[in-house]
């Protein structure tokens, strides 16, 4: 008998305010057509002045809990993947713990930027499969708009805000790929590539903030190569083929990156979940936002085999294979 972490609930939240490409073209020297042709992005949601990362995360967690049929008292942990915490400390997860009224268990943040949700899922899976916890929430929540230089057209067009959460619960499995829940995860990072996407400063280097800078073409090239490598790794380790995957849910950064992966592995386009046109890149929130969209509209169903794949600054990247339900 093997322990598995089943995903028993999912929920997400997007702030009401939308900034379209046309709106952006009033701020910087860009056009709707350029943004769509290079990224596939049409619009992004942006947090209002009153909205913090924890507000977005709280709304997503409440929806995920509701869909799971479990209550706050059933939870053993909250792991929040975020690069945009409300404060440097305490963690956004402990803030969430307080806001949810959860009086037991533990909570901490994970910072792996756009790779954060896969990292958090892998860590949560370890707590559950080793028997240290029965049930918990993994939430990816970001207010990336707060990190942007809105005068920099090379980055301002790419990001958006949002949150998505899943509830995980221990379940017995046979140890085979027919089990429900998280079947396998792989994590990677390469610190030699810190400088291709980074904030220029932070609290440990003198200034609390800094500016986001990116070597866009380098990130693009590494994303295609490393995300492809992670899919290859998952397929060869499990003995599966791309045909066996019911849904491919990649990190939503750039539609051209997703399309390059789809082409390489010959995923049929109707099996690929894309939300990038409406959400832009919401960093650690992008995968759970896409999952929730596809569960809500009835595409992802109980028993489906779902492949998740993400890459972020660091670089960090990884994949997860999940049998839904």
Positions marked catalytic: 114, 251, 281
Spatial separation of the C-alpha atoms in residues 292 and 58, rounded to whole Å:
15
Helix (H) and strand (E) counts in the chain:
10, 13
Instruction: Write down the least CB distance from residue 105 to ligand UT7, Å.
Output: 30
- The answer to whether residue 154 forms part of the interface with ligand UT7 (CB under 6 A) is yes
Token readout for 238 is: 């499990």
Spatial separation of the C-alpha atoms in residues 54 and 49, rounded to whole Å:
13
- Asked if omega into 90 is within 30° of 0 (cis), the reply is yes
- The answer to whether residue 140 forms part of the interface with ligand UT7 (CB under 6 A) is no
Q: Pick the binder of ligand UT7 from 220, 247, 248, 324 (CB under 6 A).
A: 220
CB-wise, 58 or 253, nearer to ligand UT7?
253
CB-wise, 2 or 211, nearer to ligand UT7?
211
CB-wise, 74 or 218, nearer to ligand UT7?
218
Residue 252 DSSP SS3: coil
Instruction: Write down the least CB distance from residue 235 to ligand UT7, Å.
Output: 22
Q: Pick the binder of ligand UT7 from 30, 126, 129, 189 (CB under 6 A).
A: 30
Residue count of the chain: 325
Q: Pick the binder of ligand UT7 from 139, 165, 219, 245 (CB under 6 A).
A: 219
Instruction: Write down the least CB distance from residue 185 to ligand UT7, Å.
Output: 19
Q: Report the Cα–Cα distance between both ends of the chain, in Å, rounded.
A: 19
Asked if residues 161 and 142 have their Cβ atoms less than 8 Å apart, the reply is yes
Token readout for 274 is: 């894309």
Interface stretch with ligand UT7, choices 43-51, 149-157, 165-173, 186-194 (CB under 6 A):
149-157
- Asked if omega into 315 is within 30° of 0 (cis), the reply is yes
Q: Which helix (H) or strand (E) holds 286?
A: helix 286-296
CA dihedral (291, 292, 295, 297) positive or negative: negative
Spatial separation of the C-alpha atoms in residues 14 and 26, rounded to whole Å:
23
Exposed / middle / buried, residue 319 (Cβ in 10 Å: 0-12, 13-18, 19+): buried
Interface stretch with ligand UT7, choices 177-185, 216-224, 226-234, 289-297 (CB under 6 A):
216-224
Spatial separation of the C-alpha atoms in residues 72 and 122, rounded to whole Å:
22
Residues 231-260 touching ligand UT7, rule: CB under 6 A, are 253-254
CB-wise, 6 or 197, nearer to ligand UT7?
197
Residues 256-285 touching ligand UT7, rule: CB under 6 A, are 281
Spatial separation of the C-alpha atoms in residues 256 and 122, rounded to whole Å:
27
- The answer to whether residue 299 forms part of the interface with ligand UT7 (CB under 6 A) is no
- The answer to whether residue 100 forms part of the interface with ligand UT7 (CB under 6 A) is no
- The answer to whether residue 223 forms part of the interface with ligand UT7 (CB under 6 A) is yes
Instruction: Write down the least CB distance from residue 53 to ligand UT7, Å.
Output: 17
Q: Pick the binder of ligand UT7 from 312, 314, 323, 324 (CB under 6 A).
A: 312
CB-wise, 147 or 296, nearer to ligand UT7?
147
Interface residues toward ligand UT7, by CB under 6 A? 30, 34, 38-39, 114, 153-154, 157, 197, 216-217, 219-220, 223, 253-254, 281, 311-312
């Amino acid at each position: 008998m093997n322990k598995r972490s089943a995903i028993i609930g999912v929920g997400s939240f997007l702030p009401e305010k939308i900034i379209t490409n046309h709106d952006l073209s009033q701020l910087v020297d860009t056009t709707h057509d350029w943004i769509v042709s290079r990224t596939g992005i049409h619009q992004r949601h942006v947090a209002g002045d009153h909205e913090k990362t924890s507000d977005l995360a709280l709304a997503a967690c409440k929806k995920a809990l509701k869909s799971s049929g479990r209550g706050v008292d059933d939870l053993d942990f909250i792991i929040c993947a975020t690069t945009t915490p409300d404060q440097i400390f305490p963690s956004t997860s402990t803030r969430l713990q307080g806001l949810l009224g959860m009086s037991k268990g533990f909570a901490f943040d994970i910072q792996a930027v756009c790779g954060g949700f896969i990292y958090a899922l892998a860590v949560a899976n370890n707590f559950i499969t080793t028997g240290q916890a029965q049930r918990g929430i993994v939430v990816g929540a970001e207010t990336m708009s707060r990190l942007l230089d809105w005068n920099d057209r090379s980055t301002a067009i790419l990001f958006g805000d949002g949150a998505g959460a899943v509830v995980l619960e221990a379940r017995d499995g046979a140890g085979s790929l027919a089990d429900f829940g998280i079947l396998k995860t792989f994590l990677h990072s390469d610190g030699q590539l810190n400088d291709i996407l980074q904030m220029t400063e932070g609290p440990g280097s003198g200034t609390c903030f800094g500016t986001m800078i990116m070597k866009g073409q380098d990130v693009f090239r590494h994303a295609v190569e490393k995300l492809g490598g992670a899919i290859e790794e998952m397929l060869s380790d499990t003995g599966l083929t791309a045909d066996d995957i019911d849904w491919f849910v990649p990190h939503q950064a750039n539609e051209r990156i997703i399309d390059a992966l789809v082409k390489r592995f010959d995923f049929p386009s109707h099996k690929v979940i894309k939300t990038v046109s409406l959400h832009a890149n919401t960093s650690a929130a992008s995968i759970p936002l896409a999952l929730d969209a596809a569960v809500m509209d009835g595409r992802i169903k109980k028993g489906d085999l779902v492949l998740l794949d993400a890459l972020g600054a660091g670089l960090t990247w990884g994949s997860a294979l999940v049998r839904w339900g």
